[in-house]
Amino acid sequence: MRCDYIILPDAEPDAPPHWIRLVDGYIVQRGTGERWRHPAEAEEGPIDGRALLVLPPHATTLHWIACPEMTARQGAQAARVMALEASVGAGSGLHAAVMPSSAPETPHVVAVTSESAMTHWIDWCAQRGMPNASIVPAALMLPAPETGFMRGQVGPSEVVRGVDSAFDFDEPVAGLIMNREPVTDMTEPGIDDKLREALDAPPLDLRSGIFAARPPRLFDAARIKRIALLVGFIFLVVLLVSLVRIVRLNLEASRLDARTVEVARTVDPAVTDAADAELKVGARFAARGGNGGFAGTIAGLMSAMRAVPAVSLASVNQGADGSLRVQLAAPKAEDINAVLIALQDAGWRISANAVQQQGGRLVADIVVVR
C-alpha cells in the first residue's frame, strides 16, 4: 500500500510534529510524534509515496509584491529579487521562493527564509525518509481573503492570513494587526482540502533553486547492492546449470562406455573398459585383415540409436574391410528407419540387407561404413 504524508512541525523545536497519512488522496489517519509510517512500510529508508512539510508561520516571512508593468513571469522574478533586497542583509544567506500571480497587477507572494533553515529542514526530512518532500508555508494553506482576515488551525499552529500579510495568531501583535477587521474562521475540512491540493501541487515550494528536490541517483548504494546480489544470483544459476549439464554428459558418456564394453565383449570377452575395447577389438579385427576403427563406428551407431529407445542392438561384427555389420531389433520398421536416417545424416553410409520377423520384433541386418 502506497501512503502519502503531510507533516506539520510545531513552532517549538522540541514539540512533536503533527502528521496526516493519506491513501489514494483520502486521509486515513492523524497523529502527533514521528511514528507516522504505516505498519506495513519499512521503518527505515525512503517512504514509498509523496511528502509535504508545512512550516509554521515563524519559519518564513511572506511578502506581497506587485509588478504591474511586467509580465507575470518577469514580475515573479523581480518580486523575488525585491523581497531579498528588502530583507535583513539584503538577501545574504537567504533563500526565496515565489508563488506567481495570475495577472500582472496582482501581487506575487514571496516566501523568504534563511539558507541555514532550509538546510535544517531538508536534512530533517531526509533523516526521516522524505528526501524529496515539498516545503510550503502554513499561511498558504488558507485561502486568500478578499477583505479582512482568514483564520484556521493548520496542524499545531493557529494561522491568520490577510490580504497582504500572514502571521501566527498567538503573536502579541496579532490583535493590533487585525484590529477590528472581519475574521473568517476556516473549518478543518476546508484546511484538509487545501493540504491535499498542496500535496498534489504546492502553491509555493521552497524546494527551488539550490534547494530543489533532486531525482534519486540512478545507482545509489542500495541499488548497487541489489544489482550485485542479482548478478551473483545469475552467476550462481549459470554455474549450477553448467554443473548439471557436465554431470549429465558424464553420466551419458559412462552409459555409452558401458554399452561399448558390452558390445565389444561379444567379440572379445576379456575387454574391461572402453579404451581396452578400442585396443583389443581393433587388434582382433586387424589380425583378421581389417582396418580397425571399430570404436568410432560403434559410437556413431550408438549416437543414432539414442533418439530411438525402441531400437536395440541384437549383434555386432566388423568385416575385414572395416565395415560394421549389426543387427537392429525394434517393434516397428519405422523405428529402425529412424536410426538409419540419423546415421546417414551423420555422414555414414549404410545398406540394409535381410529383415526378419523374430517373435514380435523385426530384426534387420545393417552394414555401416564411413
Of residues 109 and 357, more confidently modeled: 109
In this structure, whether the domain defined by 225-369 belongs to CATH 3.30.1360.100 is answered with yes
Please state which of the ranges 50-64, 83-97, 227-241, 292-306 shows the lowest mean pLDDT.
292-306
- CATH 3.30.1360.100 boundaries in the chain: 225-369
Q: Which three cell numbers stand for residue 176?
A: 493590533
Fold entry, domain 4-214: Nucleotidyltransferase; domain 5 (3.30.420)
Ramachandran assignment for 322, one of left (phi > 0), alpha (psi -120 to 50 degrees), beta (any other):
left
Give the Cα separation of 264 and 285 in Å (integer).
12
Closest listed residue to residue 153, CA positions, set 253, 57, 66: 57
Average pLDDT over the chain, rounded to an integer: 88
> If you average pLDDT over residues 233-261, what whole number do you get?
89
- What confidence tens digit (pLDDT) does each residue in 110-166 have? 999 999 999 999 999 999 999 999 999 999 999 999 999 999 999 999 999 999 999
Reported as a pLDDT band with limits 50, 70 and 90, residue 94 is very high
Q: Which residues contact 269 (CB under 8 A, 6 or more apart)?
A: none
Contact criterion met (CB below 8 Å) for 350 and 341? no
Give yes or no for residue 287 having a pLDDT over 60. Answer: no
- What confidence tens digit (pLDDT) does each residue in 179-197 have? 889 999 999 999 999 999 9
> If you average pLDDT over residues 1-18, what whole number do you get?
93
- CATH 3.30.420.380 boundaries in the chain: 4-214
Give the Cα separation of 269 and 259 in Å (integer).
14
The DSSP code for 326 is E
pLDDT at 220: 64
Give the Cα separation of 318 and 290 in Å (integer).
8
> For 160-192, b where at least 16 C-beta lie within 10 A, e where not — what string?
bbbeeebbbbeeeeeeeebeeeeeeebeeeebb
